[in-house]
Structure 1
């Protein structure tokens, strides 16, 4: 992108690097707000389209371009969240946020499998933990935006109010309500090494078809949720209870094709499992662990949500 006026014709716009440098931050915000990397990419692309659609004079009038981009992205996401609720009512089966692969596995999905620019990666920390994102799904769009912008990205409630279209006091209440939801639904933190050990033991028991070992690794009230989106076979309704899940997983192991392998992988920054067939990821398993027991399993099979996991 270049400017075409004055004696410096053809020279790069000195502000372009600063503008495009905001992309990573915008992706971080949009993914947490939407729970979908594809929708986050669309929201950020739309933000940049609006920026470059303005005249040079209009862009020069923006005192803090980064703040402008954040505001526009957040408003686009707020609108998408409102419409997403209606779309998900017609979604086939359960809807699970799109899982993110560990950093070393990022590819663009473009022909040739070129590596993703680091600026396109979403920071993997507690706020993109799949369990955390599932809780966000239960919030109202305004609660989610207020909480993410204030508690995760440290925006003031005055700034949040401008985006959400409510008073700062109302935004403070929204964030407080969201915070209570998080506290009520999240167990105490389990050390990463302990979580990884539990998931590894689960994988070994699963491959051995050891029902008793699986039951011992599952919380008695554990819940497993599958997401095929009508595009891949999976269970349409949540499976509840350790025994029911253990039997279901042994049945899955019994039907495993010969060319399928189960691998330990990081899913949204947490220990998880991946099923691959001929080098292509066909299923991602994310876990929530409390102490030495698994409380939730999320099974994502919708291929549209696995495009960033494709390895072939």
Structure 2
């Protein structure tokens, strides 16, 4: 079941999958429109990590220097992939070598992409990184390294491994020149168009793009058990009190039901994916505007997963605040 709505608000799309049906609603976009999904990229990377582990190509004790050229990089090479997958490696959120404050200033002033680095750039930026206490600490750097290390273990690039394992509809453009006509322009909350967040290095942590159709198909494969790397959804550690983490995926209780989820945000896009696995129901929300769509995602999932209810098809009217 598919619905499209005209709107002058930024483009948005919602997909809902239940045991009985799959639904998609769009506004200012269509099934070919490509969104930046931000940190939802991390749950994809987590599933790739678990898949490659299940193939026996890596293990729980595999460390970064076994897969990436990190000779002379000090402590970083000793970080285990398993600790990266649960944000417990001791790595900072970003490497100081990429000068994040300087880049953030250019992002705020001119809407520039704060990433854009190659894998070689990323590895050079980790040379002087020192590890902190291995406690839960959300790290983009950690998932960047995890994704590229897993790809090396599989003898592949990150994008190729992603497409081979989780679906050909995902893309990780390295340059703005790689974008096509279907790639949407994102906007900040004041309506200003933002530069696309592209780059080889950032792909596993926040550089994946997808259409709502791709996300709906992915959601269906996770719910019906055909997706690979599904053990990534199972919590193995506590991330914060009463919040568990698997490989990238977060699990918590919401209104008395267990929800496995993640969100994402780039300079011009917002995203949310969540599953009530007991109800066999999942939701994806994508919007071409910077902000949060968490409230909408949790609300839609609650409505469709509630026992004995048959909510109407999801509608996107006026953008992500629907």
Short-chain TM bin: under 0.3
What is the TM-score when the length of structure 2 is the normalising length? 0.25
| Alignment TM-score, normalising by the size of structure 1 | 0.26
Structure 1 or 2, whichever has the larger Rg, is 1
